[in-house]
Amino acid sequence: MAIPAHVKYLIIGAGIHGLSTAYHLAQQLRAQGKGDGKDILVVDKSGIAAGASGIACGVVRNNYFQPAMRELMAHSVSVWETDPEGYSYHPVGYMQISPESMHADVATIAQQQKDIGYESTFIEGEKESSDYMKNMFHDWQAQGITSVLHEKRGGYANNTKAIYALATRAENEGVRILTGCKVTGFKSDSAGGAIKAVETDKGDIGCDQVVIGAGPWAKTVWDMLELPKAISIKGADGQMHNNIPMWIYWSLQEGTLGVDPELQKTNDGQFPPVIHVDSNAPLYSTYDGSLITDKMWGIYYKPDFHFGGIQGGAAPYAIDTDPDDVAVDPYGVDSPDFVVGEDFAHMWVSALAHCQKRFEGKFEFYKNEPSGGIGSFTPDSFPVFDVFRENCYLIADSNHGYKMLGVGKLVAEELCGQKSRLLEPFRFSRYAEGKLHPVSSSPFPWS
Ligand SMILES: Cc1cc2nc3c(=O)[nH]c(=O)nc-3n(C[C@H](O)[C@H](O)[C@H](O)COP(=O)(O)OP(=O)(O)OC[C@H]3O[C@@H](n4cnc5c(N)ncnc54)[C@H](O)[C@@H]3O)c2cc1C
């Protein structure tokens, strides 16, 4: 495809956010008689699903301690539910299984799910939790669990299939997707002013509106826009905290146990919900019996034919290298630095065995192939959805956004003039104003 000299809407990134925005924006423009998909160009330096969206575990859940996140996720789940087959979405549900230290937090989540009409069952008490889990899996044996939140909606989607489906939908609306085209800079008439053109390695493309869905490359694009590397945040203590880095990287750890996915069927022969267990029970190796940790740990897993086994992950770790020096490329499984190692495999498979007897002694089936990838996180690990430089809409999900299929729809509505109540709590100004989201006691940065 020849590169156009000018487009109305230029979207950077062919992942979940760029493509969901493209597709929904095309629909909105057409419905409102303001244009159509031909007004939209998506550019990607590699290809469709080449970033985090193409390697994500694909878990879709509502379980968030922050009311604003829960409401946003409930909206996205309803978008996934519009076409489960088309989006390769498996609505098996999701379970948050927790120790006493998280009981009170999860109880508020359960209550607020009731308030917003998001169907879930909340089980409290050690015996009650164990009975509930054994009723699903006869071999359940996790220790120290005192609550189970069973979300009846949500589940997971097959990562690349959903993204290709979105690309097809967008193209059917007339959207053009230009792959192998890297954005290298921005042009404007005045310092810090509106963007008039996007510079790419194929030439400049003039545009009226830019949308950025660059995932782990959010910082790279942020720097190109000459936005501040460090910001001030008004903390819960009412004090201003200055010089906080805007972006840091975390490494996400995921892998697959190469057993038949059918192994994880429930007592009644069904495919189970996605299981997420946080625990402070001592974790021992299923390989040699040694103590792996006596600190808080967390894992999630699901049977998945796309990955060919039981696929899941554990809590990520923060990369302490200066963010300016972190090599995002080559990305994902091609990275020489940020794929999971033996420590992860040992911990994760042992944690599976801690939870269910069927995984005991299965360490040898762990698939020894590169997996995992890094994500670009904001200072509070929650998304930033906001406009910068007058006409650049940044969708930066802080790396938990595969599930956020609906965000592109809401962004499209905002671009067509309809402000979104659901996106409002994620504006950049929350940092300076101290309008921060509550912090949970989960070991994950995004709960
Ligand atoms: C291992 C892993 C597991 C995950 N699991 C889950 C999960 O289970 N559930 C969940 O909700 N989230 C999960 N996430 C997070 C989720 O994958 C991301 O938040 C989400 O996919 C980000 O989508 P995106 O569209 O913003 O970015 P991406 O999918 O990364 O797409 C960005 C695109 O921008 C392109 N690009 C970048 N820079 C440029 C440039 N200069 N010019 C042109 N193109 C450019 C890239 O090539 C890429 O294709 C996971 C992430 C990882 C790494």
pLDDT tens per residue, range 307-344: 999 999 999 999 999 999 999 999 988 988 887 788 99
Provide the pLDDT confidence category of residue 246 given band limits of 50, 70 and 90.
Answer: very high
Nearest CA to ligand 1 atom 48: 51
Q: Mean pLDDT across the stretch 221-226?
A: 98
Angstrom distance (rounded) from CA 266 to CA 254: 23
Å from CA of 213 to ligand 1 middle: 8
The answer to whether the bond into 330 is cis (omega within 30° of 0) is yes
Closest residue by CA, ligand 1 atom 21: 53
Q: Which two tokens stand for residue 254?
A: 């995921």
Cβ distance 440 to 63 under 8 Å? no
Q: Which residues approach ligand 1 with their CB closer than 6 A?
A: 12-18, 43-46, 50-53, 55-59, 182-183, 213-217, 252, 254, 372-373, 375, 397, 399-403
Region class of 131: left (phi > 0), else alpha (psi between -120 and 50), else beta: alpha
- Residue whose CB lies within 8 A of the most ligand 1 atoms, among 23, 42, 57, 381, for a mutation test: 57
* Residue tagged 């604003």 (tokens): 68
CB 404 within 8 A of CB 73: yes
Residue 446 has pLDDT above 80, yes or no: no
Instruction: Out of 17, 90, 184, 217, give the residue to mutate to test ligand 1, the one with the largest number of ligand atoms within 8 Å of its CB.
Output: 217
pLDDT over threshold 80, residue 443: no
Give the Å distance between the CA of 382 and the centre of ligand 1. 15
Contacts of 321 (CB under 8 A, 6+ apart): 249
pLDDT at 371 (0 to 100): 83
In angstroms, what is the span from residue 419 Cα to ligand 1's centroid? 25
Q: What pLDDT, on the 0 to 100 scale, is given for residue 75?
A: 97
Q: Find the 51 Cα to ligand 1 centroid distance in Å.
A: 4
> Which pLDDT value is given to residue 82?
98
Compute, in angstroms, the gap from residue 214 CA to the centroid of ligand 1: 7
Indicate which residue's Cα is closest to atom 51 of ligand 1. 56
Q: Which helix (H) or strand (E) holds 342?
A: helix 342-355
Provide the 3-class DSSP secondary structure of residue 176. Answer: strand
**Which residues share a beta bridge with 111?**
none
Report the pLDDT averaged over residues 417-446.
93
Q: What is the pLDDT of residue 311?
A: 97
Q: Find, among 227, 166, 211, 238, the residue nearest to 405 by Cα.
A: 166
Summarised one tens digit per residue, pLDDT across range 133-148 is 999 999 999 999 999 9
Tell me how far apart the alpha carbons of residues 248 and 5 are, in angstroms, rounded to a whole number.
35
- Asked if the model's pLDDT at residue 300 lies above 80, the reply is yes
Nearest to 302 by CA among 282, 274, 277: 274
pLDDT for 81 beyond 80: yes
* pLDDT tens digits, one per residue of 151-180: 999 999 999 999 999 999 999 999 999 999
Going by C-alpha positions, the residue among 84, 104, 83 that lies closest to residue 92 is 84
Rounded to whole angstroms, the Cα distance separating 2 from 346 reads 50
For 283, counting Cβ atoms within 10 Å of its Cβ (0-12 exposed, 13-18 middle, 19+ buried), the class is buried
Across 271-391, the runs of DSSP E, i.e. the strands, are 274-279, 283-284, 291-293, 297-304, 309-318, 373-377, 384-388
